[in-house]
Every structure is written in structure tokens, then in C-alpha cells.
Structure 1
Amino acid sequence: MITIDALRVRDGEQTPLDGVTMLLTANAVHGIAGEGRSVLLRAVYGLLTPESGRISAGGRPLRRREMAYLEAEPHFWPGLTARDCIDLVRRCNPASDPAPLLRRLPVPPDAEAAGMSPAERKRLALVLLLMRHKQVLLLDEPFRGLDVESLFAVQRLILQLGTEGRTLLVAADSLTPLDGICDDLYVLGGGCVRGRYEHYEFQRAARETGFAGK
């Protein structure tokens, strides 16, 4: 169980998170939509320091080494090819086999990663993230920039990861790609949780929050 307790995060004069509380069961896919979703994932990963509140797992602080984080817009060092990036991650994770992931999320191996299309960069970033075999995965806008075929492949992959005992937090700017892959859904707004919904309540979530997405 990951517990986010009364989390408050300030950004200059704004407070995108102001008392956010969530109880996130392990071995599940949790959808997150609405304002402040990216801030929440960055705070969970430790990229932002909360002004107050607590993030814990099983009663102890959640450690970054237990997690992997996919940023909304992946960036790569200029000059590195996709193959170079994969080889670098494989050196740190020698037991990883990228081949099955690349069959589902293909990328041009000899293309410069920084110059690839948005969809290709997103697929490569997901491959690199999953090669690290972390138990908790934070996916910020994993569907953004994807074509229909890639979006479907990522949805199926998320479903599989949820059945493998991983805990996923998946943030998206629309409810549509989250529907059918999440165990539950949290909708944020005004700095707090506007509602929590079970996997079968997505239509009610759209009605009650007014958040249908793009």
C-alpha cells in the first residue's frame, strides 16, 4: 500500500496540491487525471519537495530506488542512438532482455534518440523504463503523442504489468485511454482529490467532475 497523506506542494505563488490524500493498493493500476497530476508524480518520485504531508509504502518512506518514472516529454542526450540508450541501461541491468519490449514498442535502433518522432521517443522511454524492473512505475502522460496502434500496445502493456504484481500510477490528460486499464481513478482539481472512482465508474467520473478530457 502506498499512502499519500495530506500532501501539499507549492510552485511559486500557486499550490497545485493542497492536502491530497490517496490510498493506493499494491499490485494495481491507478489512473490519475485532472489538474496537478504531473506535479503529484514528480513529488512521489522525489523531484519536488512537499511543503507538508507524507508519502509512504507499508508505513515507511517510499524510496526512489523502488520506482521508475516516465516523464511526459522524454529527453535524450544528443548524439546517442536508440541502441546506445538501450546498451547503457542494459549495462546497469544485465539481466534485462529488451527484445520482447522492442517487439511490442518498436524503435529505429540506429536513429538518434533526440531526433526521433514524439511517438518513437515515448516508445523508447518506455522500453528503457521497463528494462529496470522496478516494482512501482510512475507514468506521466504515457499515451501523449502516440499513434492509434502504439496507444493500443501501451494500454495492453499496462494491463499486463498490473497483473504481474507491479503498482502503477498512470497520469493522463483524458479519461478515454485510462478506461478499461485502471483498477481505480483519482480525479484532481483545485489542489485536492475531487473524486475517486472504481474501474466501472468512468462515466460517472466524467459526469460528476466535468472532466472528460481532450
Structure 2
Amino acid sequence: MLEIKDLNFSYAEPLVLSQLDLRVQSGSIHGILGTNGAGKTSLFKCIYGTFQPDSGHITWQGLPLNYQQIAFLETGNYFYSYITGGEYLQLCRSAGTDFSIADWNSIFKLPLDQLVDTYSTGMKKQLAFLGALAQGRPILILDEPFNGLDLESSEKLSIIIQELGKKNKTILIASHILETLTRNCDRISHLSEGSIRHTYEAAEFPEMTARLRARLQQDIAADLDRIL
């Protein structure tokens, strides 16, 4: 289990994350839902170790979490200049893993002999995702993994995520597309004002979706009445 207790983090005042508690079951796909600026990326970077929390504890299987147990797909993907897709995956692949570059690329069919600078946004996202898988780590963090992907690539990614969950990979996903979370996740935690407000089980997803949409429609209707 990945467990976070009393996590606090700030760039400056006020706190971005405040007394945040979260439990992610091993071998589950866990979604993080929140508006822009809610703290999703900050939470992921605290888990990964990019940011140092002000206070709190993050453990994996009861022991302090080590970043080497995590593969992190960030929202923005950055690559060395003049590196090919194949060279990038070779750098990412951890020794001793059974990750086959050729087998995995048979799904996405990326031109691995070409420079990454020639790739489209969606192709770079797919390459970065394969790079995360190539590390062979037990925890996979995906920050807006569907950004920039076309319909076919999104479907492929969704299928892979679900299959990885069945293979006991622990996956954390943040997405601004609600349907990608409800479709893929076992549980979804709502992050608001720096804290987890509620964690929904799969059976509660329809109720959660209806509640969020009703509140959004109400807010928009009030604004339109004022504007129009």
C-alpha cells in the first residue's frame, strides 16, 4: 500500500497541500480528480521526490518511499536534443527488466530511428509513456497521460493501463477528462483546497459524475444569467 499521512507542502504561503491523507491499495488504479490549480501535480511531485514536503509521511508497504520505486510520467515531456526515440527508450530501460522495446512499440508504431524533435505532441507523449514503463518500477504515476493523444492512441493507452492494473501495477492517474478516470480507475479521490475531500469507490462513480455536472451547470447558468 502507498500511504500518505498529514502531508503539507507550500511554495510560499498559503499551503498548496494541507494535512493531506491518501491510501492507495497495491495493484490498484487510483484516480486523482481536481480542478486546475488544486494541487494534483504538486502532490505527484511530492510523492516522486521532486518537491520536499514541509511535513508529513509517505510510505510504501510500510517503509519510507524511495523514488526508485516510482516511474513518473509528467504532464510536460522533455527530451535531450538530437536523441532518437530508440536511444531514449534504451536510456530509460532498467537493467534486469523484461521490457522489450520492439514488442511494446508494435502497439504504438513510433519511428524509433528518427529524432524525437521530429515527433508530434502525441508521439512524444507515447514515447514518454513507454519510457516510464521501461523502468519496470512497481508504482506508476501518470499526470494527464491522455493530453495530446488522438482517439486511437487514447484507446490504446486506456487498454494498457487497465491491463497493467490486472498485472498488479500500482497506478496513480490525474486527468482533466473525467471519463478517463471513471473508465480506468478502481477508486477516485477528490482533491480540493489542498486536501482529499472524499475517495469514491467504483460503484459511486455515476453519483459522483452526476453531482459534479449538476454543480457545474448550476454555476455556469448563474454566470450566464448575469452576463446575458
TM-score, scaled relative to structure 2: 0.87
Match of 2:193 among 190, 193, 200: 190
Cα distance change of structure 1 residues 209 and 192 upon mapping to structure 2, 3 Å threshold? farther
Q: How does 1:157-172 map to 2 (within 5 A)?
A: 157-172=160-175
Q: 1:38 aligns with which of 24, 29, 41?
A: 41
The Cα shift of 1:179 comes to: 1.5
Offset at residue 208 of structure 1 (A): 4.0
In the alignment, structure 2 segments of 5+ residues that lack a partner are: 217-228
Other structure's SS at 2:198 match: strand
Q: Which residue of 1 aligns with 2:57?
A: 54
The answer for the alignment partner of 1:63 in structure 2 is: 66
CA drift at 1:171: 0.9
Q: Which structure's residues are more often strand, by fraction?
A: 1
Cα distance in 2 for partners of 1:191, 1:150 equals 32
Query: Residue 5 of structure 2 aligns with which residue?
Result: 5
Larger helix share, 1 or 2: 2
State the one-letter code of the partner of 1:146: L
Note if contact 1:5-1:20 (Cα within 8 Å) is conserved in structure 2.
yes
CA contact (8 A) 2:94 2:134 kept: no
1:32 partner amino acid = I
Contact 1:138/1:170 (CA < 8 Å) preserved in 2?
A: yes
Per mean C-alpha deviation after superposition, the further-off stretch among 103-112 and 144-153 is 103-112
- Largest Rg, 1 or 2: 2
Deviation digits for residues 103-133 of structure 1 (CA, Å, limit 9, x no counterpart): 2222121332134211100100111111121
Aligned pair count reads 212
Task: Tell me: CA distance 1:104–1:192, structure 2 relative to 1, closer, same or farther (3 Å).
Answer: same
Alpha-carbon distance change, 170 to 94 in structure 1, aligned in 2, over 3 angstroms: closer
1:112 equivalent to 2:115? Answer: yes
Describe the SS at the equivalent of 2:183.
coil
Q: Which one-letter code corresponds to 1:59 in the other structure? A: G
SS of equivalent residue, structure 2 residue 184 = coil
Correspondence for 2:137 among 134, 137, 152:
134
Alpha carbons of 1:150 and 1:6: their partners in 2 closer, same or farther (altered >3 Å)?
same
Conservation of the 8 A alpha-carbon contact between 2:72 and 2:142: yes
TM-score, normalised by the number of residues in structure 1: 0.92
On the 8 A contact 2:97/2:136 being kept in 1, the answer is no
- Structure 1 residue 89: Cα displacement: 2.9
Tell me, yes or no, if the aligned pair for 1:106 and 1:123 is still in contact at 8 Å: no
Any conservation in 2 of the 1:175–1:202 contact (CA below 8 Å)? Answer: no
Residue in 2 that maps onto 1:102: 105
Task: Determine helix, strand or coil for the equivalent of 1:11.
Answer: coil
Q: In 1, distance between residues paired with 2:94 and 2:134?
A: 11
Question: 1:4-61, CA deviations, whole angstroms, 9 ceiling, x for partnerless residues?
Answer: 1011110223422111101111010001110211111111000111111110112210
Change (3 A) 1:115 1:13: farther
Percent of residue pairs bearing the same amino acid type: 30
Tell me the CA shift for residue 94 of structure 1: 6.4
